Amino acid sequence: MVTTRKSLVLAALAVLAIVALASTALGATTYLGGASASGGQVTLVSNTSDGNADNDYSVAVFDVPEGTTFADLGTLSTDYNVTDDGCMGGSPRFQIRVDTGTETKNIFAYLGPEPNYTNCPLNTTVNSGDVLTDGRAIDTSQLPGGTFYDTYAHALSAYGDYEVVSVMLVADAGWASGDGEQTIIVDNVNIDGTVHDFTPPPTSTNQCKKGGWESFSNPSFKNQGQCVSYVNRNK
């Protein structure tokens, strides 16, 4: 557990440092490092074996409505499928960036079986369940009075009024695997009732016709005309 905790501190610093780097955006989701969206899913790759530091980590950043507090995040869950090497080193995880009033810090919710968050089944889609619930530990060690195995109830009472800057899904433990690579596929990310299914936005007006406009959620449309206007604006 000491190794895991040390890696999490290093990873948190790295993620904070890379938020300003070049990225691609799809609706309210921003992808950093080795993260990419395709086929309605997001693939998070941490590859430390290819000499390219840009994909040592993967981050999917989700915007939240301005003014959202930690207490407002009623639900946080995702479907995830570890396809290479497993859960390790505190990765994959939800990373909740919060404003303490003086600086930005992180609350971590790790994916995988407790208490070590390792031994995830390979090539199997698993639903994390709500990681913000009583009976499930979260890591508040970056915050005043926080601990590695904090309870949600305590975190809610101590940090509930902290404003949430963003919610991230992170993979960055390629360094801990035998081949230097860790890969996780995520889908159906539920953030306070908003489900992100990563369906790519329309690129052709034909995709908007015959009710096709109803299939998009990132962004979503109220009618066919709004969908057509989006395509025309973004050609």
The H or E element containing residue 171 is strand 163-171
pLDDT at 185: 96
The two three-digit tokens of residue 61, written as one number: 């950043």
pTM score: 0.79
- How high does pLDDT run on average in the chain? 87
Residue 25 vs residue 96, higher pLDDT:
96
Q: What is the mean pLDDT of residues 6-34?
A: 53
pLDDT at 93: 98
Residues contacting residue 17 through CB under 8 Å, at least 6 positions apart: none
> CA of 148: how far to CAs of 12, 56, 165, 208, in Å?
14, 24, 21, 47
Indicate the range of 5-9, 55-59, 148-152 predicted with least confidence: 5-9
Cis peptide before 92 (omega within 30 of 0): yes
- Give the dihedral sign, CA 70/73/75/78: negative
Domain spans of the chain, in order of start = 2-194, 201-235
Indicate the range of 1-10, 78-87, 110-119 predicted with least confidence: 1-10
Confidence of residue 26 (pLDDT cuts 50, 70, 90): very low
The answer, yes or no, to whether residue 23 has pLDDT greater than 90, is: no
Residues 2-194, CATH architecture: Sandwich (2.60)
Share of the chain above pLDDT 70, in %: 87
Confidence of residue 190 (pLDDT cuts 50, 70, 90): very high
First to last CA, the chain: 50
> CA of 206: how far to CAs of 4, 30, 203, 210, in Å?
49, 26, 9, 8
Closest CA to 182 of 6, 5, 11: 11
The two three-digit tokens of residue 92, written as one number: 């994959």
The residue whose two tokens read 């709004």 is 226
Paired residues of 6 in beta bridges: none
> CA of 201: how far to CAs of 1, 91, 122, 215, 228, in Å?
41, 29, 30, 10, 11
pLDDT at 49: 95
The answer, yes or no, to whether residue 107 has pLDDT greater than 60, is: yes
Q: Tell me the per-residue pLDDT of 125-160, one tens digit each, with 9 for 90 and over.
A: 999 999 999 889 999 999 999 999 999 999 999 999
